[in-house]
């Protein structure tokens, strides 16, 4: 695992992933982040974000 995949908030200690790997493509392929979803530029896989509060 790489630290580049996660972002740690220095105040809250909350860890949030900054990149999501594509489940359909090979390792190293990541989903592009959009305001409400992630999408893969290779295969077109789309994963919608969940609004967690």
Footprint of Zn ion on this chain (CB under 5 A)?
A: 22, 24-25, 40, 42-43, 45
Q: Is the dihedral of CA 2, 36, 47, 14 positive or negative?
A: positive
Long-range contacts of 42-46 (CB under 8 A, 24+ apart): none
In the complex, minimum distance from the CB of residue 48 to Zn ion, in angstroms, rounded to a whole number? 15
Cα distance between residue 33 and residue 48, in whole Å: 10
Of 34 and 42, nearer to Zn ion (C-beta) is 42
Compare residues 9 and 26 and give the one whose CB is closer to Zn ion.
26
Smaller CB separation from Zn ion, 15 or 23: 23
């Amino acid at each position: 695992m790489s630290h580049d995949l996660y972002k740690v908030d220095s105040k809250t200690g909350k860890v949030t992933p900054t990149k999501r790997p594509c489940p359909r493509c090979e390792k190293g392929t990541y989903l592009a982040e959009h305001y409400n979803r992630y999408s893969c530029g290779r295969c077109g896989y789309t994963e919608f974000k969940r609004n967690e509060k």
